[in-house]
C-alpha cells in the first residue's frame, strides 16, 4: 500500500517560514492602533510553519492522488468521462469571456449573446428541437426544468389529472428523484428480455393520468430502444409527453435525433457529451430543448436576434420563470461550443461512431471471461454481471477495487439495478485500442485471481493510499479536517 504522507500539521516546525514579504514602505504602526482591541487575537493562530518547498511537495503529492481522465482510463458508465481538449479551457479563459460581468448592459456583451444564440442553433440541429434554454446547470437540473415545463403545459390546458411520470427500471437515479421533486408519482415500467422497455407493460400503464414518459435512449444498458417510435405513439395518443434524458447522446450524435424519435423535451449533459470537464461536483450545464408547443413555458430569458443585434428575450408570458441566476454556467457553454465548432458535424458523428465501436470491441473482449446479459449490439456502454464471480467470493465492488490496484478507474458498480453485480462500462470515444486491450487484460487477470483466491481479491485494494474503507461510514461520517489531539 502507498504510505500516506504526514499531514502539514505534523510536518510543521516552529520558526520555519515559507514566504518573505517586501519591506514596508509606509510608516509602521502597532496592530492595536489599527484594529479595535476586541478584534485582536489573544493567542497566536495555530497553523503549521513550513518552508515553501515543503508546501509545494505536499500539494503536488496530493494532486497525484486524484484520478481523472487526464491520468488514466475512466470507464465510468452513464457518465461519459471523455477527454476534454485543453484548448477549450484556453478559449473560455480569454479575457473577453472570463472578465465579463453578468450585470453588464446588453450592448456590451453582444459577443457572448451571439455565442449563446449560435450554440442554441447547433443544439437544435443536433437534437431536432425548436428552442433551448441554457440555464440549467446539470443534467438533474435540466430534468427538473423539463418536467416543470411539461407540468406548465398540461396545467395551461386545464388538464389537471396528469400526476404520473413513467420511467423504465433501467433509469438513472436522478430520474425518479426528479419526478418526485416535481410532485409527480413515479410509475416504473419493466424491461423485456431484450433489454427494451416492455411495450406491453407500457401500454398497460399509460392512461389519462400520464404526464410523461421519461427515457434515456440508448438506455443505461447501452441498448437502443427498438420500439421507440411505437412507444412515442402510445404515450402521445394518451395525451402524455416524452422526456428525453440526453446523458447518453454520445452514442447517437449525427445518427439519430430525439426530436425525430418523438420526444417533446430533452436535456443534454453538455458537460459529458460535449467534452467540458465533468465530475468532482464541478460546474456543469444541462440545456433543455423543447418542441414548438412547449416553447412558451421555457425559462426566461431566451436569447433573440433582430438584424445584427442579440438581446435577452423576456417575452414569454407563460414561462416557468428563471431556474438559475443570470443565464446559466456560461464558461461551460463556451467550452462545449468550442468543442462543437472544432469537431464539426462530421467530427461529432465520428465521436459517436468511435464511442460505439470502442464499447462493442471492449465488450467482445470481456465476453470471453465475464457474463454480459442482453447480449446484442450495444451503443456507447455495456453492463457486465459479476454474479458468477460473486458466487466464488468476490463481486462487482471487489473487482472495482482490484482495478484500482491496476491503475484503472473502475466502471460504475451496482447500477443499473436490474443487473445483479453490475459493472457498467463506458469506454467512450477518446480511448485507443491499446488502452482497451490493457483494461481487458486487467479484467481477465482479476478473474484468474478470483479463481485462485477470491478472499484475497475481496480484501483489496493493496496498492492505493488507503485500503478497504467502511464506505457507509466514509459517506455518513467523513472526517475532513484536522483536529488537534
Ligand atoms: C442517464 C443519466 N441521466 C441523468 C444524469 C444526471 O446528470 P448530472 O450528473 O449532470 O446531474 C446522469 C449522470 O450521470 C446520467 O447518467
Answer for the pair 333, 115: CB distance below 8 angstroms, yes or no. yes
Supply the residue whose CA is at minimum distance from atom 16 of ligand 1: 78
Helix 330-366 vs helix 433-458: crossing angle, to nearest 10: 70
For 2-100, list the strands marked E by DSSP. Answer: none
- Stretch 211-240: mean pLDDT, rounded? 97
Q: What is the CATH number of the domain that holds 362?
A: 3.90.1150.10
Buried b or exposed e, range 291-322, using 16+ CB within 10 angstroms:
beebbbbbbbbbbeeeeeebbeeeebeebbee
| CA nearest ligand 1 atom 5, residue | 139
Domains: count for the chain: 3
Q: Is 324 inside any structural domain?
A: yes
**456: helix, strand or coil:** helix
Please give the number of the atom of ligand 1 that sits closest to the Cα of 269.
Answer: 10
Considering 343, 377, 403, which residue would you say is the last residue of a domain?
A: 343
Alpha carbon distance, N-terminus to C-terminus of the chain: 26
Cα of 81 to ligand 1 centre, how many Å? 12
Q: Is residue 481 part of a domain?
A: no
| Pocket-testing residue among 76, 78, 137, ligand 1, by greatest number of atoms within 8 A of Cβ | 78
Say yes or no: 302 and 217 in one domain: yes
At 364, list the grid cell: 467482445
Alpha carbons 114 and 102: distance in angstroms, whole number:
15
Mean pLDDT of 193-198: 96
DSSP string, 43-67: S--------HHHHHHHHHHHHTT--
For the chain, what is the mean pLDDT?
94
For 243-258, write each residue's pLDDT tens digit. Answer: 999 999 999 999 999 9
What phi, psi does 309 have (nearest 5°)? -100, 130
Q: How far is CA 9 from CA 56, 280, 468, 483, in A?
A: 15, 26, 25, 10
What's the CA-to-centroid distance between 384 and ligand 1, angstroms? 20
483 in a structural domain = no
Q: How far is the CA of 78 from the centre of ligand 1 (A)?
A: 7
Ligand 1 centroid to residue 269 C-alpha, Å: 7
Ligand 1 pocket test, pick from 78, 81, 135, 139 with the greatest ligand atom count within 8 Å of Cβ, gives 139
CA of 140 to the centre of ligand 1 (A): 6
* Closest atom of ligand 1 relative to the 140 alpha carbon: 11
Are residues 32 and 158 part of one domain? no
**Closest atom of ligand 1 to CA, residue 220:** 1
Is 414 within the bounds of a domain? yes
Does 80 fall in a domain? no
Closest atom of ligand 1 relative to the 79 alpha carbon: 14
- Do residue 322 and residue 352 come from a single domain? no
Substitution site in 269, 272, 287, 324 for ligand 1 pocket (most atoms within 8 Å of beta carbon): 269
Residue 8 burial class via C-beta count within 10 angstroms: exposed 0-12, middle 13-18, buried 19 and up = middle
Q: Ligand 1: residues within 6 Å at CB?
A: 78-79, 138-140, 172, 174, 216, 220, 245, 247-248, 269, 284, 286
Nearest residue (CA) to ligand 1, atom 6: 139
pLDDT at 281 over 60: no
User: Are 333 and 402 in the same domain?
Assistant: no
Ligand 1 centre distance from Cα of residue 177 (Å)? 11
Q: Is the pLDDT of residue 44 over 70?
A: yes
Range of the domain at 404: 347-474
In this structure, are 332 and 450 located in the same domain? Answer: no
Q: What is the CATH number of the domain that holds 318?
A: 3.40.640.10
Q: How far is CA 167 from the centre of its chain?
A: 19
Cα(174) to centroid(ligand 1), Å: 7
| Average pLDDT estimate for 80-102 | 93
112 C-alpha to center of ligand 1: Å? 27
Which of 172, 177, 219, 280 has most ligand 1 atoms within 8 Å of its beta carbon, as the pocket-test mutant?
Answer: 172
- Give pLDDT tens digits for 336-384: 999 999 999 999 999 999 999 999 999 999 999 999 999 899 999 999 9
For 283: left if phi > 0, alpha if psi spans -120 to 50, otherwise beta; the answer is: beta
- Hey, what's the torsion of the CAs at 224, 227, 231, 233, to 10 degrees? 130
> Are 82 and 275 within 8 A, CB to CB?
yes
116: cell is 449563446
Q: Tell me the pLDDT band of 279, cut-offs 50, 70 and 90.
A: low
The answer to whether the CB of 393 falls within 8 A of the CB of 454 is yes
pLDDT for res 4 = 64
Same domain, 367 and 270: no
The helix (run of H) or strand (run of E) holding residue 87 is: helix 86-92
For the chain, the maximum distance between any two Cα atoms, rounded to a whole number of angstroms, is 85
Residue 467 domain flag: yes
Name which residue sits closest to atom 14 of ligand 1, judged by CA: 79
- β-strand partners of 289: 132, 266
Contact status, residue 376 vs residue 194, Cβ threshold 8 Å: yes
pLDDT digits (tens, 9 = 90+) for 135-193: 999 999 999 999 999 999 999 999 999 999 999 999 999 999 999 999 999 999 999 99
- Does residue 198 sit in the same domain as residue 287? yes
Where among 343, 363, 394 does a domain terminate? 343
The answer to whether the pTM exceeds 0.85 is yes
Report which of residues 3 and 305 the model is more confident about: 305
The reply to whether 193 and 284 lie within a common domain is yes
Query: Are residues 124 and 54 part of one domain?
Result: no
pLDDT digit string, tens, across residues 312-346? 999 999 999 999 999 999 999 999 999 999 999 99
Same domain, 269 and 365: no
Residue 171: inside a domain: yes
Element of type H or E holding 175: helix 174-181
| C-beta neighbour count of 59 within 10 angstroms | 10
Distance in angstroms (rounded) separating the CA atoms of residues 460 and 458: 6
Residue among 82, 140, 383, 415 whose CB has most ligand 1 atoms within 8 A, to mutate = 140
pLDDT level of residue 282 (50, 70, 90 thresholds):
low
| 58 shares its domain with 121 | no
Pick from 81, 247, 250, 277 the residue to mutate for probing ligand 1's pocket: most ligand atoms within 8 Å of its CB. 247
Instruction: Report if residue 72 sits inside a domain.
Output: no
Q: What is the pLDDT of residues 385-417, one digit of tens each?
A: 999 999 999 999 999 999 999 999 999 999 999
According to the model, what pLDDT value does residue 264 have?
98
Boundary of a domain, candidates 343, 378, 406: 343
For the chain, give the percent of residues with pLDDT over 90. 85
Same domain, 417 and 294: no
Amino acid at each position: 500500500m502507498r504510505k500516506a504522507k504526514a499531514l502539514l500539521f505534523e510536518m510543521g516546525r516552529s520558526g520555519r517560514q515559507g514566504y518573505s514579504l517586501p519591506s514596508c514602505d509606509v510608516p509602521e504602526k502597532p496592530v492595536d492602533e489599527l484594529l479595535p482591541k476586541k478584534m485582536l487575537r489573544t493567542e497566536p493562530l495555530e497553523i503549521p510553519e513550513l518552508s515553501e518547498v515543503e508546501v509545494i511537495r505536499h500539494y503536488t503529492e496530493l494532486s497525484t492522488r486524484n484520478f481523472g481522465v487526464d491520468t488514466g482510463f475512466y470507464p465510468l458508465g452513464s457518465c461519459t468521462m471523455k477527454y476534454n481538449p485543453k484548448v477549450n479551457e484556453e478559449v473560455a479563459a480569454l479575457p473577453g469571456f472570463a472578465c465579463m460581468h453578468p450585470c453588464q448592459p446588453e450592448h456590451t456583451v453582444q459577443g457572448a449573446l451571439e455565442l449563446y444564440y449560435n450554440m442554441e442553433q447547433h443544439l437544435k440541429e443536433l437534437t431536432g428541437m425548436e428552442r433551448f434554454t441554457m440555464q440549467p446547470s446539470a443534467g438533474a437540473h435540466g430534468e427538473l426544468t423539463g418536467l416543470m415545463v411539461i407540468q406548465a403545459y398540461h396545467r395551461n390546458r386545464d388538464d389537471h389529472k396528469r400526476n404520473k411520470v413513467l420511467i423504465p427500471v433501467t433509469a438513472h437515479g436522478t430520474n425518479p428523484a426528479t419526478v418526485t421533486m416535481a410532485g409527480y408519482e413515479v410509475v416504473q415500467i419493466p424491461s423485456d428480455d431484450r433489454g427494451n422497455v416492455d411495450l406491453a407493460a407500457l401500454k398497460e400503464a399509460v392512461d389519462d393520468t400520464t404526464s410523461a414518459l421519461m427515457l434515456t435512449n440508448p438506455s443505461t444498458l447501452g441498448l437502443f430502444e427498438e420500439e421507440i417510435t411505437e412507444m412515442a405513439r402510445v404515450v402521445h395518443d394518451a395525451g402524455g409527453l416524452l422526456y428525453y434524458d440526453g446523458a447518453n447522446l454520445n452514442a447517437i450524435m449525427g445518427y439519430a435525433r430525439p426530436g425525430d424519435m418523438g420526444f417533446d423535451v430533452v436535456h443534454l449533459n453538455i458537460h459529458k457529451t460535449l467534452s467540458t470537464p465533468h465530475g468532482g461536483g464541478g460546474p456543469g450545464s444541462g440545456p433543455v430543448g423543447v418542441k414548438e408547443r412547449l416553447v412558451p413555458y421555457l425559462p426566461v430569458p431566451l436569447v433573440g436576434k433582430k438584424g445584427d443585434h442579440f438581446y435577452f428575450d423576456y417575452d414569454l408570458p407563460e414561462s416557468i420563470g428563471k431556474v438559475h441566476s443570470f443565464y446559466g454556467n456560461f464558461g461551460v457553454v463556451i467550452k462545449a461550443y468550442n468543442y462543437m465548432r472544432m469537431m464539426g458535424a462530421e467530427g461529432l458523428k465520428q465521436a459517436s461512431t468511435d464511442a460505439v465501436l470502442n464499447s462493442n470491441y471492449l465488450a467482445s473482449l470481456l465476453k470471453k471471461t465475464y457474463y454480459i446479459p442482453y447480449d446484442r449490439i450495444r451503443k456507447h456502454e455495456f453492463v457486465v454481471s459479476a454474479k458468477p464471480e460473486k458466487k466464488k467470493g468476490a463481486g462487482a465492488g471487489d473487482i472495482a477495487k482490484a482495478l484500482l490496484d491496476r491503475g484503472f478507474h473502475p466502471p460504475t458498480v451496482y447500477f443499473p439495478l436490474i443487473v445483479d453485480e453490475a459493472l457498467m462500462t463506458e469506454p467512450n470515444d477518446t480511448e485507443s485500442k491499446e488502452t482497451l486491450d490493457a483494461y481487458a487484460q486487467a479484467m481477465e487477470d482479476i478473474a484468474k485471481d478470483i479463481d485462485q483466491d477470491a478472499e484475497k481479491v475481496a480484501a483489496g485494494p493493496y496498492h492505493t493510499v488507503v485500503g478497504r474503507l467502511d464506505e457507509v461510514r466514509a459517506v455518513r461520517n467523513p472526517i475532513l479536517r484536522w483536529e488537534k489531539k
